[in-house]
Amino acid sequence: METTTRTDGKVRQQRKVCLLCDKVTNETTQKLEISKGSPE
């Protein structure tokens, strides 16, 4: 039972990290698209 709980915690942490990475990637892509769209 203990092992299952530990694995669940790890999986949950990994999911959180993935969500954070996705958020950062999305923001970076938006910034890149914006800078590309407005050439100065």
- Give the N- to C-terminal CA distance of the chain in Å, as an integer: 60
What residues does each domain of the chain span? 1-26
Report pLDDT for 15: 84
pLDDT tens-digit map of 1-40:
566 677 888 888 888 888 888 999 999 998 888 887 765 5
Q: Is the pTM of this model over 0.75?
A: no
Per the listing, tokens 């698209």 go with: 33
Helices (H), 1-40: 2-37
The two structure tokens encoding residue 13: 């942490």
Report the alpha-carbon distance of residue 22 to residue 17 in Å, rounded.
Answer: 9
